[in-house]
């Protein structure tokens, strides 16, 4: 490198010029910048969750328990950070939000393609969400691809077999484009895992923590929406708080919850 060539700097490594110029408020309202920054940060964390989730699936299928536990801990810490960000957003009063809400037009958090991918990673299979994206859009293609891949729980079941527990082939070779359904055979295997009380049982508990963490995010999110817009419809015509409330108690991993009464 010559003296005339630019060396790597903190700013250039993090592409700060692009990042810090990506906030483009559509009004002069003071609070719109906060609204934009919070949601951009959410999207960055969703990107990291997807990155960690793919890594977690590989580690699960390899039976790599130490790295499975480490990656789950990281994902759980990210979820706690995401939930805590709602405290910042709730410093905005309803009147402050309504002052620029109309400028959002049809834009809505309901359209977050990355969050749909996170849901697909956790096992949600709802082709109906695709209608919110243009047929030839990259967002629609990414969500459809995510719903066609094995979910995190599918990888978890393969992990269980690497640890010496028997599962029927039907569970391991199911149609991954379909929603997860509770399985008595899977639950018997999970009970055996818990009764041995080894590291595999810790993995089960971290999976429950992950599911609970997503539920906590959903709860805090719906309460924030209620606090900000009441029962109004969301931007972009979404169902607002009523729709969000309907998603609160849908576990991603029903078999792990079902065995609790048998332990």
- Sorted by sequence, the CB contacts under 8 Å of residue 204 that are 6+ apart come out as 190, 193, 194, 256
d(CA 23, CA 64): 41
pLDDT value, residue 250? 84
Please give the domain boundaries of the chain with CATH numbers for all domains. Answer: 27-153+168-262 (1.20.58.480)
- Place 134 in a pLDDT band, splitting at 50, 70 and 90: very high
- pTM of the predicted model as reported, rounded to 2 decimal places: 0.90
**Which ranges constitute the DSSP H helices of 182-248?**
184-196, 199-229, 240-246
Question: Helix, strand, coil proportions of the chain in percent (round to 5)?
Answer: 70, 0, 30
Q: What is the mean pLDDT of the chain?
A: 90
Here the tokens at position 171 are 């569970």
pLDDT value, residue 34? 94
Q: pLDDT digit string (tens) for 43-58? A: 999 999 999 999 999 9
Of 213, 201, 125, 198, residue with least CA distance to 156: 201
DSSP run (H or E) holding 49: helix 32-61
Q: pLDDT digit string (tens) for 19-34? A: 999 999 999 999 999 9
Residue 19: helix, strand or coil by DSSP?
Answer: helix
Angle, helix 199-229 to helix 65-89, in steps of 10 degrees? 10
| Res. 160: pLDDT tops 90 | yes
């Amino acid at each position: 490198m010559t003296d005339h060539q630019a060396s790597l700097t903190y700013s250039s490594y993090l592409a700060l010029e692009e990042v810090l110029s990506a906030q483009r408020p559509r009004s002069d309202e003071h609070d719109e910048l906060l609204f934009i920054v919070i949601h951009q940060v959410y999207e960055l964390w969703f990107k990291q969750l997807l990155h960690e989730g793919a890594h977690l699936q590989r580690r699960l299928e390899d039976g790599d328990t130490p790295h499975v536990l480490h990656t789950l801990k990281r994902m759980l810490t990210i979820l706690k950070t995401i939930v805590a960000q709602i405290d910042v957003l709730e410093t905005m009063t309803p009147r402050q939000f309504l002052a620029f809400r109309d400028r959002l037009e049809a834009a809505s958090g309901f359209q977050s393609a990355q969050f749909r991918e996170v849901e697909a990673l956790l096992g949600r299979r709802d082709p109906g969400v695709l209608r919110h994206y243009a047929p030839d859009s990259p967002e629609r293609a990414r969500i459809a691809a995510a719903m066609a891949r094995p979910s995190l729980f599918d990888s978890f079941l393969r992990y269980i077999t690497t640890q010496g527990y028997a599962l029927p082939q039907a569970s391991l070779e199911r149609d991954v484009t379909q929603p997860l359904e509770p399985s008595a055979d899977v639950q018997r295997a999970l009970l055996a895992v818990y009764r041995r009380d080894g590291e595999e049982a810790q993995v089960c508990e971290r999976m429950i923590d992950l599911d609970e963490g997503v539920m906590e995010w959903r709860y805090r999110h719906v309460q924030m929406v209620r606090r900000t817009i009441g029962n109004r419809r969301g931007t972009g015509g979404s169902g607002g708080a009523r729709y969000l409330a309907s998603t609160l108690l849908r576990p991603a991993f029903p078999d792990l919850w079902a065995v609790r009464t048998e332990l």
